[in-house]
Amino acid sequence: MATVRVAARPSSVAEVRSAVRHDLAVLPESIREDVALIVSELLGNAMRHGSSLDDGRLAVEWGVDAAGVQVAVTDGGGPTIPVIEEPAPTEVGGRGLSIVASLSQRWGVEHHGHETKVWAIVPVPASRLTPA
């Protein structure tokens, strides 16, 4: 698993997306883009709804194993629990976790002390996980 710690600022989202795309270059573009979008949503949610970790940053992890591509964002917790919302059509936000759920095989939330980790797994065809 690759792990980076980033500042809770908008430019970090683009930096992490670029790193994920680069690290997953051996996978099909459609999978890389799904993972990049999931990372963007999870990181954006952590910035909007969570707080920074003790070092003032957020942690982002990703890697490939037999289950597929695993991605997670950990923040310092917040006043709400991450759940899928059903915003009105005119609302600007509230669709992030719905996007994550639709692009992933499964996703979840873990609480470790005051930290919150939101993770997702994007399936990868078995033929793409083994060397050609």
DSSP label of 92: S
Interior/surface letters 113-131, b for 16+ CB within 10 angstroms, e for the rest: eebbbbbbbbebeeeeeee
- The pTM of this model reads 0.90
Domain count, the chain: 1
Domain of residue 103, CATH code: 3.30.565.10
pLDDT attached to residue 83: 78
As a whole number of angstroms, the distance between CA 8 and CA 46 comes to 8
As a whole number of angstroms, the distance between CA 71 and CA 122 comes to 8
Q: What is the band of 132 on the pLDDT scale with cuts at 50, 70, 90?
A: very low
pLDDT attached to residue 129: 55
* Residue-range definition of the domain harbouring residue 79: 2-129
Question: Going by C-beta distance under 8 Å and a sequence separation of 6 or more, which residues neighbour residue 82?
Answer: 45, 49, 97, 109, 116, 118
**Residues forming a β-bridge with 59:** 5, 74
pLDDT attached to residue 128: 59
| 36-53 residue pLDDT tens | 999 999 999 999 999 999
| 80-125 residue pLDDT tens | 888 777 767 777 666 789 999 999 999 999 999 999 999 999 999 8
| 14-30 residue pLDDT tens | 999 999 999 999 999 99
Q: How far is CA 79 from the centre of its chain?
A: 19
